[in-house]
Amino acid sequence: VTVSQTAGFPEATTSTTVITIRIPPRQRSLEQTAFTVKLRVPLWATSAANSISVNGERLSGVVPGTYFGITRNWADGDQVEVFYPLNLWVAPINDVRPGWQSVMAFMYGPLVLAGLTESDIFVPPGTDFNQNPSKFIHRNSTSGLSFEAVDTSGKKMKMIPLFDVMEE
């Protein structure tokens, strides 16, 4: 059995992953093709639009922070499509020192966003910024990972995934 994966992650906004099952002709009896595929459902994948489907049939029970198992008799060419829409959220930095307890990371799905700025201070607007960062951070592109954040004074800051900072 061969399992191949095609992913548009993290740039794609419409599909996350397609997994195709290939079974050689000599192994296509039902006894040989029954197995479980387990898919990780990340804790950040909290959207009601999360979906896992097999050959276009949507499955239910996708729960963030768990593994989703699909047990079946697989056929050659079966496809599993996985879609977890990326969203903006806040991850608190776990630090017991009082001066650092309000420090947090702004995230896009599993990606840490880095602010490109001359300042080390960014004050988000409002009081619920840690619950809803999409109020002040917006994605600028449907094909690239570029974001813009606006602070309480209206000053704009470009944000990109931390892994791209090395190229800045």
Q: Mean pLDDT, to the nearest integer, of 8-16?
A: 73
Q: Tell me the whole-structure pTM to 2 decimals.
A: 0.81
pLDDT digits (tens, 9 = 90+) for 110-124: 999 999 988 878 888
Q: Average the pLDDT over 86-103 and give the result.
A: 83
pLDDT at 118: 85
Amino acid at position 44, single letter: W
Out of 16-20, 49-53, 156-160, pick the least confident: 16-20
Give the tens place of pLDDT for each residue, 26-43.
776 656 688 899 999 999
CA 112 vs CA 52, 144, 146: distances in Å: 25, 15, 12
Name every residue whose Cβ is closer than 8 Å to that of residue 2 and which is 6 or more positions away in sequence: 21, 22, 23
166 pLDDT higher than 70? yes
Identity of the residue numbered 114? A
| pLDDT value of residue 39 | 94
Largest CA distance in the chain: 67
